[in-house]
């Protein structure tokens, strides 16, 4: 039996930081305006087995699949300008963190912490 987890997160802090940096560098007033589409966040389906939440092996498997899905949803599609790559990386980090919290699993949280430390 598989459960479906809808993962939703917002990127307000990242969007504001990117906007502030770009506005400071380029000094164009139009760049300082917040973009509603980035602040709105996104949702995507992610299937998993509840049994995966209880074991270390299952937790690592979920994280690997989740990271691939998050990279795809955040737009990590190969070479891109550095500013775009920074936005994509911020999206990945924020979405992974929010997603791991939504699982509510100690095994997944520990596997994520171990993965991000090294």
pLDDT, tens digit (0-9, with 9 covering 90-100), for 39-89: 446 788 899 999 999 999 999 999 999 999 999 999 999 899 999 999 999
Global pTM value: 0.64
Q: According to the model, what pLDDT value does residue 118 have?
A: 58
Q: According to the model, what pLDDT value does residue 41 have?
A: 66
Q: According to the model, what pLDDT value does residue 84 have?
A: 96
pLDDT, tens digit (0-9, with 9 covering 90-100), for 23-43: 333 333 333 333 334 444 678
C-alpha closest to that of 5 among 107, 98, 106, 110:
98
């Amino acid at each position: 039996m598989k459960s479906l987890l809808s993962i939703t997160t917002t990127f307000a802090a990242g969007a504001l930081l990117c906007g502030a940096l770009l506005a400071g560098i380029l000094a164009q007033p139009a760049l300082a305006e917040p973009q509603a589409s980035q602040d709105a966040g996104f949702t995507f389906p992610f299937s998993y087995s509840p049994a995966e939440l209880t074991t270390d092996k299952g937790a690592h498997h979920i994280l690997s699949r989740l990271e691939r899905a998050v990279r795809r949803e955040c737009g990590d599609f190969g070479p891109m300008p550095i500013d775009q790559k920074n936005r994509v990386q911020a999206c990945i980090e924020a979405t992974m963190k929010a997603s791991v919290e939504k699982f509510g699993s100690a095994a997944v949280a520990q596997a994520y912490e171990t993965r991000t430390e090294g």
